[in-house]
Amino acid sequence: MSHILKLAIRSIHPTFSRLLRATVWVSMLALVAACGEEVSVEVEEKLRPVKTLKVANASLGQERQFAGVVDANQKATLSFRVSGKLKSLEVKEGDLVKASQRLATLDSTDYKIQLADRQATYDRAKSDFSRAEKLVDAGHVSRADYDKLKASLSTARAQLDLAKQNVEYSELKAPFAGVIAKRYVDNFEEVSAQQVVYLLQDTTSLLVTIDVPESIMIHSQRGQRQYDLYAEFDAIPGERFPLKVKEVATVADDATQTYGISFSMDAPKEHTILPGMSTVVHAIAARNAAQDAKPRYFLPGHAVLKDSQGNYVVLVKSAEPGVGVAERRAVTVGEPNVRGIEILEGVSPGELVVVAGMSKLSPAQRVRLNEGQQQ
């Protein structure tokens, strides 16, 4: 056969003949190599991913976390009670001020003129009333005229007091000691009454506010359990700042349907924590001796199955990193409540219970523990 192949090749054009000869030899070598070697194919084991929950002793204190915002425990927006042109702004943003310290003034020329006019009116009314008071008993002044003069004096006194107040209101003073957080106007502007000029905050003590969903509020019982409360800040790792409950709203927010809770927090001396900063509020149920003496375990209702042999759960025993082995475990259950079903016997702290797809697993089946599911 090889002799016939050589004759056929020689009858072809020399260039194409060489190309065809090389192709044939390469094909023959590949065929020989394939026949002489065994091909090994590794089949990758496909493991079913599972979602698990780590068993924990509920009596050791349940912890919840909420996003919070820092605010000043005492703050006020400051404005003039009269309108006018700004004459001076005596403090700037970031300044510390004392109680009753003057912060800004208006041009009070018009108010002082008005005060002088009201003072003259009052003096005249007082003089007229004094003369009538001496003559009324002698009958030289009628009782009706006397009453009119008395009323005029009262009106003049009230108008004089108002004019004095307007002059005083041309100065803006701090109602309490604090820091000027914001200035809203510039000097020499025309400002109206009640127009905000400054935002004053007392940062010696702080307020932390959180929003609690109704699903948590509906199960809370006032005064039934104490919590250890503290705040943590990402920029201050490892430090906890104790909190005290100040106010609890009993009306839900119209937009978010959440209930606001505010906490008091002492301002730390070694850190600068300002209103508007974000924090995380931790609420840990306080432990007591009775609870610690009797461990309690709760699992979601759908994680506990039942068949002819009774109630059971599916556990996962770790076999290697990221891989576990399924195991059926009989359990004794208690009454269900808002936390789930209480497991009286059958589980231990730290064990992983499958909480999804349990019916598709068989005993001793290898499964994959995905990152973030080994909780």
Q: Is 6 within the bounds of a domain?
A: yes
Residues 318 and 270 placed together within one structural domain of the fold: no
In eight-state DSSP terms, residue 108 is: -
Residue 148 structure tokens: 């009119």
| Residue after which a domain boundary falls, among 291, 321, 343 | 291
Residues 171 and 90 placed together within one structural domain of the fold: yes
Asked if residue 345 lies in contact with residue 332, where contact means CB atoms within 8 angstroms, the answer is yes
Residues 69 and 116 placed together within one structural domain of the fold: no
Q: Residue 212 belongs to a domain with what CATH number?
A: 2.40.30.170
Residues 334 and 267 placed together within one structural domain of the fold: no
Select the more confidently predicted residue: 199 or 254: 199
Asked if residue 352 lies in contact with residue 316, where contact means CB atoms within 8 angstroms, the answer is yes
Segment among 129-143, 275-289, 319-333 with least mean pLDDT: 275-289
Of 268, 66, 93, nearest in space to 186 by CA: 93
266-308 residue pLDDT tens: 999 999 999 999 999 998 776 554 445 567 788 888 889 989 9
Residue 119 structure tokens: 């003072």
Asked if residue 47 lies in contact with residue 347, where contact means CB atoms within 8 angstroms, the answer is no
Q: Is 22 within the bounds of a domain?
A: yes
Residues 193 and 239 placed together within one structural domain of the fold: no
Residues 169 and 97 placed together within one structural domain of the fold: yes
Residues 181 and 228 placed together within one structural domain of the fold: no
Q: Is 129 within the bounds of a domain?
A: yes
Q: Is 361 within the bounds of a domain?
A: yes
Number of domains present in the structure of the chain: 4
Q: Is the pLDDT of residue 349 over 60?
A: yes
Residue 227 structure tokens: 């919590």
Residues 183 and 82 placed together within one structural domain of the fold: yes
Name the percent of the chain lying above pLDDT 70: 79
Residues 125 and 153 placed together within one structural domain of the fold: yes
Asked if residue 105 lies in contact with residue 188, where contact means CB atoms within 8 angstroms, the answer is no
Q: Is 107 within the bounds of a domain?
A: yes
Predicted local distance difference test score (pLDDT) of residue 286: 64
Asked if residue 211 lies in contact with residue 260, where contact means CB atoms within 8 angstroms, the answer is yes
Q: Is 44 within the bounds of a domain?
A: no
86-115 residue pLDDT tens: 999 999 999 999 999 999 999 999 999 999
Q: Is 248 within the bounds of a domain?
A: yes
Residues 134 and 171 placed together within one structural domain of the fold: yes
Predicted local distance difference test score (pLDDT) of residue 321: 81
Asked if residue 206 lies in contact with residue 122, where contact means CB atoms within 8 angstroms, the answer is no
Predicted local distance difference test score (pLDDT) of residue 288: 53
The residues, any chain, with a CB within 8 Å of residue 215's CB and separated by 6 or more, are none
CA distance 54 to 373: 9
Predicted local distance difference test score (pLDDT) of residue 5: 47
Residues 163 and 260 placed together within one structural domain of the fold: no
What's the predicted TM-score (pTM) here?
0.59
Q: Residue 92 belongs to a domain with what CATH number?
A: 2.40.50.100
Residues 193 and 88 placed together within one structural domain of the fold: yes
Predicted local distance difference test score (pLDDT) of residue 301: 85
115-124 residue pLDDT tens: 999 999 999 9
| Residue after which a domain boundary falls, among 166, 197, 228 | 197
Residue with tokens 């009989």: 330
Which pairing describes strands 196-213 and 178-183: parallel, antiparallel, or unpaired? antiparallel
| Residue after which a domain boundary falls, among 245, 271, 291 | 291
- Parent domain of 25: 2-36
Q: Is 362 within the bounds of a domain?
A: yes
Buried b (16+ CB within 10 A) or exposed e, 318-341: eeeeeebebbbeebebeeeeeebb
